Every structure is written in C-alpha cells, then in structure tokens.
Amino acid sequence: MGAASSTYSSSFSCPSSQKKYDVFLSFRGEDTRRSFTSHLHTALCLRGIETYIEYELPKGDDISQSLIQAIEDSTISVVIFSKSYGSSKWCLNELTKILEFSEIQGQLVIPIFYEVDPSHVPNQKGTYQDAFAKQERDLQRKPEKVQKWKHVLFETASLAGWDSQSCRSVFIHSLKLRFHLFL
C-alpha cells in the first residue's frame, strides 16, 4: 500500500487498482473539503483504497460528463451530508446520478452525516428545510426537479450510514470491510 499521490488536474486520486475507483466522495466543498473530507480521503488512500475526489469544480448547476464518468467508474459512493449539502444544486444533481448508478449497476452508497442530525436530511428539517424552501423559490418552473431531489435525499439518507459525531474511529475500518464484502 502506497501513500497518496496527487495529479495536477482537477481531480485527485490514489494509486491504481483493478477498478478505476473504489470510492467516489460526494461532499459540499465549503463545509468539509479542508476538514473531514480531506482527512477521510487521505485515510482511505493510505489504506490502499482508490478514491476519487474533485477539488476544482467548474461553475454552474450541471455536473460535468467527467464527473458522471467518475461516479459510474466507482464501486462505492460515499455521500457526506453536511449542513449546506442540500443548498447546492450541484450536490443534488450529483446525488441524483449516484442513485441512478446505484439502481442500474448495484453501486453501494454509504451516507455520512457530518455535523448534521441524521433525521434532518431525509425529512428536510433544519438547514435542509431552509435549503429546500430556497430551491423551491429558485426553481418555481421546475417543481419536478425539486421533488426528485427530495426523493433522492430521502432514499440516500435512509440507507445504513454513519453519524460523524458518534463513530469517527470506526468508519474507515468499516468502509474497508464493506468494500471487501461488496466485491
């Protein structure tokens, strides 16, 4: 198992394995990029788990084809729900793609609730309620899109996952175990 190595493109990944990526990390950058997510990424890489993380995203609401390809090329998607994940159209579109590939290819999806009450995400309470009130105002002409996002949040947040407040030390070991069982 080697240490993490970086590429100088917009993405960062660990050394190669049989699959292109073992894990795809979905997160709201402003909430967790320089804290939880970067530490999780490093820990996974140091354990030989090929991990995709996006560091430089193009501006706009639609996710790029290269990001869609990275999701499709991953065995597991780890979705890090943080306080403002639901306010990001980008994150919600990414989550929609993750669930699509989960249904089509059987990709494992693991939610992590980072400094957010796990019940707030599927039920759109707290910051998620505020975020969706704004999404509904912004997308008045596309209510079906907001309903789709609510559905994918509910579906993903209802999966077995981790609350970062209660199980930090167990997560990496459990993810590695799940990954080996999934193969």
pLDDT tens sequence across 120-155? 999 999 999 999 999 999 988 888 999 999 999 999
- For the domain made up of 11-182, give the CATH fold: Rossmann fold (3.40.50)
Longest dimension (CA), the chain: 50
Question: Among residues 30, 94, 103, 144, which one is catalytic?
Answer: 94
Task: Give the lowest-confidence range in 3-17, 70-84, 108-122.
Answer: 3-17
Task: Give the lowest-confidence range in 3-7, 58-62, 178-182.
Answer: 3-7
Which two structure tokens, joined as six digits, stand for 169? Answer: 């030390």
Residue-range domain boundaries for the chain: 11-182
Q: What pLDDT is attached to residue 32?
A: 86
Q: What pLDDT is attached to residue 72?
A: 92
Q: What pLDDT is attached to residue 168?
A: 53
Q: What pLDDT is attached to residue 80?
A: 95
Sequence-separated (6 or more) residues with CB below 8 Å from residue 62: 93
Residue 103 catalytic? Answer: no
pTM equals 0.80
Q: What pLDDT is attached to residue 12?
A: 46
Q: Is 116 exposed, middle or buried (0-12, 13-18, 19+ CB in 10 A)?
A: buried
pLDDT band at 170 (very low <50, low <70, confident <90, very high): low
Strands (DSSP E) found in the chain: 11-12, 21-27, 51-54, 74-81, 108-113, 162-163
CB 98 within 8 A of CB 107: yes
What is the b/e burial string over 91-102, where b = at least 16 CB atoms within 10 angstroms of the residue's CB? bbbbbbbbbebb
Q: How far is Cα 53 from Cα 94, in angstroms, rounded to an integer?
A: 13
Q: What is the mean pLDDT of the chain?
A: 81
